[in-house]
Structure 1
Amino acid sequence: MNMHETVKSTYPRHPQGRPTLGRRLTGWVASVALAVAGLIASDGAQAAVPFEGCPLDAYQTIESENPADRYGLYGIDLAEGSQTLIGTLGSTAVFDPDFNGIGFNERDRFIYGFNRAEQRLVRIGSDGAGGAEFASAGPVTGLPAGFRTYVADIGDDNNYYAMNDQGSLWKIDLATNAATLVGSFTSAVGRITDMAFNPLDGQLYGVGSNGHIVRINPLTAASVRVGKIEVNPATYGAVYFDSQGTLYANPNSGEQTERIRNVHTDTPVASKLPALGRSTPSNDGARCKRAPPPVADLNVLKTLDSEDGDVDGFAEPGENLTYKLTVTNIGVIASGAHTFYEVLPANTTLVSITGGTSSCAAGDEGARLCVITVPGPVAPQGGTADVFLTVKVADPLPDDAAEITNIATDDTDSPPPEGCDATTGVCSTPPVCDPATDPDHCVVTPLTLPDVSISKELTAGGPT
């Protein structure tokens, strides 16, 4: 039998009740998988059970001061930043005092970390300590003596990438247990305490204590600063990505998790998740990087829905134009109320808004910044909500008017369109946009003006 034929695409549940993405093995295939896991468990340990699919949670190993439960494996809800204990990792030989450097392997759905005392990789299953085991029969080959790492992740090539205290980047083939030196980290960019693969560009990223974002080439170890976020000095011992290339960084101090967008640019944007973390002398992070963020993810599509003038596709003096703004939730959970910016076009007056509420009122004149609120919930995975905005084109129009420009944004987290003040709503300069480069948010309707011509005719004789 072809085993792949029995795999069904589902959304299985995390052991703590959170959804995961991926595939669930069904019937006897699941039994075979668990039996194989039991056969490969080493040192007499209980067989580790793989995670189901591609979990939405991130994971942290957090060191405690209790020797009996030296490490805990926690699930991190990246919607809020809250933490749930999955299992304590104990003080067995599998977890020596320098255990660190975890990463999630998407091929076999286990978390791997490094045991310095044994110089061996440790494999952790979905129940934490219960099935933790050494991943190989002996130490990793090819590493320098006393190798230690707390900066690591696993690539798509089935290699465990780890940086040691000396700044050398190594990769360990999980199939052969052999290590290869990649190169030396560029020390001038500053120190990082964890790194993670970005699924969008395949590069490794970390966050320095001063907020610098560092990018590392996994083929050469060449590294560079690519941006900076404004943070209090901290040690970011656990970092991980989601499928959209957003980086999350947990400080060891127990402060809130930083959510960092645009990490590949020189202008990253950071915000904090609501929940506090746990203060710890040692932690590390891992996540299935192709899992989407476990949040509602909404975008706005703007179109010209209808007009009541005589010439289609043109704005005429005194005509009503109705725009349709479709809010779509491509995330994995339903949204609550959602807000976004809408610029009331210059040379128009607001007639009505339906399907949502607005900071602007009927009779307001453009150009003016409005905040539109769509009441939730908007269903996940393609659910939509529509807002209709009707404006009346000025009559008469200024002589220099050429078009009606209407702009919307996806949300109010980003700055409003240039020229508009988010606090007062005043647009000192009417914003401009180009539908060719931003077709989802920009609608430009050319004006049609009365075609007036002057002719001169001699109807009577002049003076004699």
Structure 2
Amino acid sequence: LVTGASTSLGQLTPAGTYNAIGFNVQDNTIWGSVQNVNGQIFRLNPDLTVNIFTIPNLPGFYNTGDIDFNGHLYLYGSNQSTFYVVDVDPNSSTYLQLVDPANGFVLDTAPFGTAITPYNASDWAFNPVDNQLYAATAFGQVIRIDPLTGSSTPLTTVGLPSPGAFGAQFFDNEGAMYALYNANGNIYRITFSGNNATAVQFSASVASANNDGARCAFALLNLVEVTKSVDPASTCPGGTLTFTSVIENVGALLTADNVVFTDDIPAGTTFVSGS
């Protein structure tokens, strides 16, 4: 996230098209919607296997999703007037069923889902500070959504490009939102003050489409990178090795404050006093 560098972890099994993902702190896995199959959600396991579940009374499939800290998966489709909540907490009595956020997350009843003002967004994310949903729309505006009622507040937004999709959206532990702009891969960091949202480019990835994003909001940002080298690479007993560690703040926007660096003396060596 800090540098924009990406690493392929491999292919999913079974292969398929998966979207609307969120990170579930209840089981430390990723959940989302199976594209092009009505009523199916999936769990992505750490070994890249996928478990697919059919949810009773869940219509359609979705491109927008995230999970609150209690294991509720919120699913929405761009420009639709209803969102749906699925319980994905394995320890819950309503596990893998639709629940009603407006009534204490009891089993949902017909008409299913929660009403919402339609808007064009490709993802949304939970803010760990105020427990509200936020979505960056295709028109460069951030919307705040009450996850219990569906009521929404358009925020005065500056700094986001428009038009175009933000396919991957998520938060950090301090309540800052991140949105990846599909057209060029730029990642924007969005901060909030009242009903105002301010975006600044944070890092740069690559342009992409049909993407989505999820993040554990409790995870710290990796702002510091340490590169260690030794000269010479090897020596005989009694020789001297000189170790050099370069500590770099790899973030272009945030400072790395209160950094403490420690480095143990390697096994088989002793410290040269005064060095």
TM over 0.5: yes
- Are 2:184 and 1:184 equivalent residues in the alignment? no
Taking the aligned partners of 1:156 and 1:115, their CA distance within structure 2 comes to 22
Structure 1 residues 124, 382: CA separation in 2 closer, same or farther (over 3 Å shift)?
A: same
Residue 108 of structure 1 aligns to a residue in which SS? coil
Code of the residue aligned with 1:168 in structure 2: it is T
- Are 2:133 and 1:204 equivalent residues in the alignment? yes
Total equivalences in the alignment: 217
- Are 2:6 and 1:87 equivalent residues in the alignment? no
- TM-superposed CA distance for 1:185, in Å, is 1.6
Q: Which residue of 1 aligns with 2:165?
A: 235
Taking the aligned partners of 1:254 and 1:336, their CA distance within structure 2 comes to 24
Structure 2 alignment gaps of length 5 or more: 100-111, 225-246, 263-275
Structure 1 residues 215, 378: CA separation in 2 closer, same or farther (over 3 Å shift)?
A: closer
Q: Which residue of 2 aligns with 1:171?
A: 85
Structure 1 alignment gaps of length 5 or more: 1-77, 297-333, 339-375, 384-464
Residues 144-201 of structure 1, C-alpha deviations (whole Å, 9 max, x = no match): 3xx11111101122111111352311100124211134522223xx421100100000
Q: Which residue of 1 aligns with 2:227?
A: none
Code of the residue aligned with 1:123 in structure 2: it is R
Larger radius of gyration: 1
Code of the residue aligned with 1:142 in structure 2: it is N
Q: Which residue of 2 aligns with 1:133?
A: 51
Aligned residues: percent identity? 27
Taking the aligned partners of 1:111 and 1:120, their CA distance within structure 2 comes to 14
- Are 2:25 and 1:112 equivalent residues in the alignment? no
Taking the aligned partners of 1:215 and 1:256, their CA distance within structure 2 comes to 22
Q: Which residue of 2 aligns with 1:331?
A: none
Taking the aligned partners of 1:380 and 1:167, their CA distance within structure 2 comes to 47
Q: Which residue of 2 aligns with 1:162?
A: 75
Code of the residue aligned with 1:201 in structure 2: it is D
Structure 1 residues 236, 115: CA separation in 2 closer, same or farther (over 3 Å shift)?
A: same
Code of the residue aligned with 2:148 in structure 1: it is L
Q: Which residue of 2 aligns with 1:283?
A: 211
- TM-superposed CA distance for 1:335, in Å, is 5.7
- Are 2:52 and 1:102 equivalent residues in the alignment? no
- Are 2:181 and 1:251 equivalent residues in the alignment? yes
Residues 312-364 of structure 1, C-alpha deviations (whole Å, 9 max, x = no match): xxxxxxxxxxxxxxxxxxxxxx66499xxxxxxxxxxxxxxxxxxxxxxxxxx
- In the TM superposition, 1:31-430 aligns within 5 A as 78-89=1-12, 92=14, 95-96=16-17, 99-116=18-35, 117=37, 119-128=39-48, 131-134=49-52, 136=53, 139-144=54-59, 147-165=60-78, 166-174=80-88, 175=90, 176-180=95-99, 181-187=112-118, 190-233=119-162, 234-262=164-192, 265-280=194-209, 282-295=210-223, 336=249, 380=259
- In the TM superposition, 1:451-462 aligns within 5 A as none
Taking the aligned partners of 2:87 and 2:39, their CA distance within structure 1 comes to 14
Taking the aligned partners of 1:288 and 1:162, their CA distance within structure 2 comes to 18
Structure 1 residues 377, 273: CA separation in 2 closer, same or farther (over 3 Å shift)?
A: closer
- TM-superposed CA distance for 1:251, in Å, is 1.6
Preserved CA contact (<8 Å) 2:223 2:256: no
Code of the residue aligned with 2:137 in structure 1: it is G
- TM-superposed CA distance for 1:229, in Å, is 2.3
- In the TM superposition, 1:435-454 aligns within 5 A as none
Preserved CA contact (<8 Å) 2:160 2:199: no
- TM-superposed CA distance for 1:243, in Å, is 0.1
Structure 1 residues 257, 378: CA separation in 2 closer, same or farther (over 3 Å shift)?
A: closer
Taking the aligned partners of 1:273 and 1:224, their CA distance within structure 2 comes to 25
Structure 1 residues 142, 243: CA separation in 2 closer, same or farther (over 3 Å shift)?
A: same
- TM-superposed CA distance for 1:82, in Å, is 1.8
Aligned-residue RMSD, C-alpha: 2.7
Taking the aligned partners of 1:254 and 1:100, their CA distance within structure 2 comes to 20
Structure 1 residues 121, 243: CA separation in 2 closer, same or farther (over 3 Å shift)?
A: same
